[in-house]
Every structure is written in C-alpha cells, then in structure tokens.
A and B are shown apart, each in its own frame.
Chain A
Amino acid sequence: MVELFMQYLLWPLVKIIVVVLFLVLMVMAMTYAERKVVAHIQVRLGPMRVGWHGILQPVADTVKLLFKEDIIPIKADLPVFILAPILVAIPAFLVFAVIPFGPAPFYIADINVGILFVLAISSFGILAILLGGWAANSKYPFMGGLRSCAQMISYELPMGLAVVSVLLVAQNLSLVSIVEWQQKSGWWLFALQPVAFVIYFICGVAETNRCPFDLPEAESELVGGFHTEYSGLRFAFFFMAEYINMVAISALTVVLFLGGWLRPFPNVAWLSFLDYVPPVVWFLLKTFFFLYLYLWIRGTFPRYRFDQLMAVGWKWFLPITLANCIVTAGVLLFFYYR
C-alpha cells in the first residue's frame, strides 16, 4: 500500500513540483538573460539598479505584475477573456510532462505517443492566442491574434513534418525511446537529419512568436499584439507561457536532434571522462545553448514582413520538409527493409 502510494502519487507529485518550480525559475532567469544579452548586443548595460548588475530585476518585475491592477475592458467577452490566459498557461506547462530531462527517474511520464502528445498540446496554444485576441473586442489585439494564428498554423506543418522524418529514423514516438535510439546508434540525430534539425528550430522560433517572426506583437504596427488589453496577472500568464514555450521548444530540439541527456559522441570510449558530468546537466547545457540562440537571433535579425513570412513557411519549408520525409523514407526502405 505504502509502496503503491509512493509510486503513483508521491513520486510523480514531487517530480511535478520540481519541474514547475524549475520552469518558473527559468522564466525569471530568461527575462533577465534576455534583457542583459540583448542589451550587451546593442552595447548597452541593461538593468543595473536592482541588486548586483540588476540580478534581482526579475523579482521586482514579478512583484510589479502581481500587484498591478487587473483591468478588464467593459466590452470584452468576459468568459473568454478569463479563459484565454488559463488556456495558454496550462499547455505550456503540460508539455513538460513528457520531456525527459535525463534517464529513468528524471522524467514525469514516458507515454508511447509522446511526441504526438506534445504536438496536440501545443496546438492549444494557438487557440488561446486567437481567443485572447478576440475576447478583448479591440482592433489591435484582434489583428495580432489573427496574425499569430495564421503564422502558427503555417509553421506547425513543416514542424510536424520535420518531426516525422525523425520518427522515421528512430522508429518510435516516445521521447525517451528516441533518446535511447540515439544512444544505441551512437549518433545524435541532427547528424542524420540536418535539414529537419534546422527547419525544426526555425519553425520553433516562429511558433513561439519570437523575433524575427514576432509579427503578432510588432510594437510599431500593433501596439502589443494579442495581449494589448491584458494587464496584471493575466498578462503575466501570456508572458510566462511565451517563455515556457521557448524552453519547451529548446528542450524538444535537444531531445529530438541533440541526443537529449547523452554526452557528445555517446559511444566513443576515450571520451568517457565526460560521463562524470551528470546526464541532466548535459541536457540543461544543450537546452541553455538553444535558449541563448533565441536571444542571439532576436538581437541580430530584423523582423520579417508578413507576406515574406508566409512565403517562407509555405513555399520553402513545407516542400523541403516534405521532400526530406520522402527521401528519408526511401533511404530507409532501400537500406534497412530490403
């Protein structure tokens, strides 16, 4: 009885709490990192006043957001206005239920349709943004919501196809098994699927509405995008979800293409001293690298025009990923199933 309780209730609960705390910390760290990194790219100092080099800035921001007045526009559609931030935050956290941070005890669940689960859950995010933009009953958020929705749908397709070519190689849908496959084969998957890897990450940037694909919140055109009318805690939800989605995309890129928790060259014996670094640390290092890449891209590239964005998504990424899928399937068919 006690054992069952431990296995099915206590341990999952502990893991969930740890992951949620980690994510909240990550959001705070990311807001700070974003301001600092972008500031240094632009030869500024960024936040310097709160704490040593502004390190307590995220705490101050959180306190500010918590105590800010929660304004609901009179003409807003109340139930949907309240539902949207909830709907955007829940899937953001839920994705991490299946992401393996490390071998056996370091993930919450290993379900056999893992990657499908992730795709399904992240499609809620689109819904929430669309609803959030609509519910405020105001024109800029609405246009931001529509843009965001069109963009996310367009980039979800090549993203899904990039994942499909990974699945074809790894022959499994469970995220844990995909990493284990990479361990067995000795190759990180990005070496076998370079096209899918690059396109997946670019689509990931587009899916999270980050620069250079941040048209949904283009300040110069749309004030603040779909969350213009939100304030206080409800705005914080949207904000948090965006950063958590960034962490999720980075983590997924690592799991699918960079061998998850594996060290570099997992089967090369003379590199085994690298095993002294725990797997979770490897995972986090790789994830942080991609998060840094997000900021780097933001600091470096100008924003796309909307028609360019659509053209890139539909006329380049979709055909390329489709061709990649077909070629992958063909090669596998030719070499392995003959």
Chain B
Amino acid sequence: MFYFLAALAVGFSIMVVITRIPVHSALSLGGVLISIAAIFITLEAEFLSAVQILVYVGGIMVLFLFVLMLFSIEKWGGAALHTRTWKTAVALGVVLAGELLFFVWKGITPSLPQIATPAGLGGNIEAMGWALYQRYLLPFEVASVLLLVAIIGAVLFTRKQIPKDNG
C-alpha cells in the first residue's frame, strides 16, 4: 500500500514539473497532496490526513488555481519548460538527493522525542492536542505569531493605496 501511494505521489510530482500548462501542474500538485494524505491514513493519522486535504487541497490549491487562472488567460500557450534558474535548481536537487542518500546509506533514523500522553486519551486528535498545547506550546505560539505577522503584512500591502487617495 505504501509503495503504491508513494509511487503515485512521485508520479504526480514528476507531472508537476513536466506539464506545460500551469493549471495542470497545480492539479498534479493536488494529486501529490492527496497521495500524501492517503499515506497519513495508512499511518493511522486520520486527523493529519483530513487537515492536509482541508488546508492544502481546499485552501492553498484553490488559491494557486485562482491566481494561475487569472494570469494565464492570455498566455494560453503554456509556460516555458526551461527557465534560467535551472542550473541552481539542479545543484540544489543534487545536494538534497545527496543528503537523503547519505541518511539512507548510513541507516540513521532521526530519533523523535517520545511524548508521554496520559493514558486513556483515545484517538490521535487528543494526543495531538496534548502534544501541541503542553510540550510544544512555545513553538506553536511562535508559529502562530509568525502567521499573524504575515497576515498583517498582507493587509498592509493591500492598504498602501488608500492614504494616497485621501491626499
């Protein structure tokens, strides 16, 4: 099951890169995300899987498509397959593949801290809530503040014109 889903994810990610029509790329990205959500289900992380689909497919994908559609109406012919940044991309890819291969070769698995959840917490929602709001409260809050800053930044960008109009 894992191999099938993993193959699916890899196949879709290749599609993301090689299709010439941006919307098709975005759709393939959706395929990748759904395959990953399915892998989460096989790992019994239903919550993560549902949130993955909700946030990535339902939110971010739709946003991507929205933007792509608004921009690519005139350029229906499709985006260029090769851009000038391909050398950097290849270099980065090689480095990343090297790192991954190194870890596979060494057989190192990163040791995740075991979180002691109180017994009787059924389901992974409770366990996840426990981990997030007890042990990892600080990182969680930092992340939320970061997101807040991003939102305020976005609002500021769109408001730039208004003071000018008012003189």
Chain A residues with CB under 8 Å of chain B are 77, 79-80, 83, 111-113, 116-117, 119-121, 123-124, 126-127, 130-131, 134, 137, 142, 146, 149, 153, 156, 173
Query: B54 to chain A: which residues have CB within 8 Å?
Result: 116, 119-120, 123
**A-B interface, 4 closest residue pairs, ranked by CB to CB distance from nearest:** A123-B58, A116-B50, A120-B53, A120-B54
Query: B21 to chain A: which residues have CB within 8 Å?
Result: 77
**Cα distance A124–B66 in the bound complex, in angstroms:** 14
Is B66's CB under 8 angstroms from A146's CB? Answer: yes
> With contacts A117-B46, A127-B57, A156-B58 known, what are 18 further pairs, Cβ within 8 A?
A77-B23, A79-B24, A80-B24, A111-B46, A112-B122, A113-B46, A116-B51, A117-B50, A120-B53, A120-B58, A121-B53, A123-B62, A126-B62, A127-B30, A130-B66, A131-B23, A134-B23, A142-B69
**Cα distance A13–B46 in the bound complex, in angstroms:** 22
B153 proximal to A (CB < 8 A):
no
Minimal beta-carbon separation of B69 from chain A (angstroms): 5
Chain B residues with CB under 8 Å of chain A are 21, 23-24, 27, 30, 46-47, 50-51, 53-54, 57-59, 61-62, 65-66, 69-70, 73, 76, 122-123, 125
Query: Mostly helix, strand, loop or mixed at chain B's interface?
Result: helix
18 contacts between A and B (CB under 8 A): A83-B27, A111-B46, A113-B46, A113-B125, A119-B50, A119-B54, A120-B58, A126-B58, A127-B30, A127-B58, A127-B62, A130-B66, A131-B27, A131-B65, A134-B23, A146-B66, A146-B69, A173-B125
Q: A112-B46, A142-B69 are in contact. Are A127 and B23 (CB under 8 A)?
A: no
Q: A79-B24, A80-B27, A134-B69 are in contact. Are A124 and B58 (CB under 8 A)?
A: yes
Chain A residue with Cβ nearest B61? A127
Query: Mostly helix, strand, loop or mixed at chain A's interface?
Result: helix
Chain A residue with Cβ nearest B21? A77
Query: B30 to chain A: which residues have CB within 8 Å?
Result: 127
Minimal beta-carbon separation of A135 from chain B (angstroms): 8
**Cα distance A156–B54 in the bound complex, in angstroms:** 11
**Cα distance A83–B69 in the bound complex, in angstroms:** 17
Minimal beta-carbon separation of A94 from chain B (angstroms): 11
**Cα distance A116–B124 in the bound complex, in angstroms:** 13
Q: Counting chain B CB atoms within 10 Å of each CB, which of A116, A137, A173 scores highest?
A: A116
Q: A77-B21, A130-B65 are in contact. Are A123 and B50 (CB under 8 A)?
A: no
Is A113's CB under 8 angstroms from B65's CB? Answer: no
**Cα distance A119–B53 in the bound complex, in angstroms:** 9
Q: A120-B50, A120-B54, A130-B62 are in contact. Are A112 and B125 (CB under 8 A)?
A: yes
Query: B47 to chain A: which residues have CB within 8 Å?
Result: 113, 116
Chain B residue with Cβ nearest A111? B46
Minimal beta-carbon separation of B146 from chain A (angstroms): 21
Chain A residue with Cβ nearest B47? A113
Query: A173 to chain B: which residues have CB within 8 Å?
Result: 125
Minimal beta-carbon separation of B92 from chain A (angstroms): 30
Query: B27 to chain A: which residues have CB within 8 Å?
Result: 80, 83, 131
Minimal beta-carbon separation of A337 from chain B (angstroms): 14
Q: Counting chain A CB atoms within 10 Å of each CB, which of B47, B54, B57, B125 scores highest?
A: B54
Query: A149 to chain B: which residues have CB within 8 Å?
Result: 62, 66
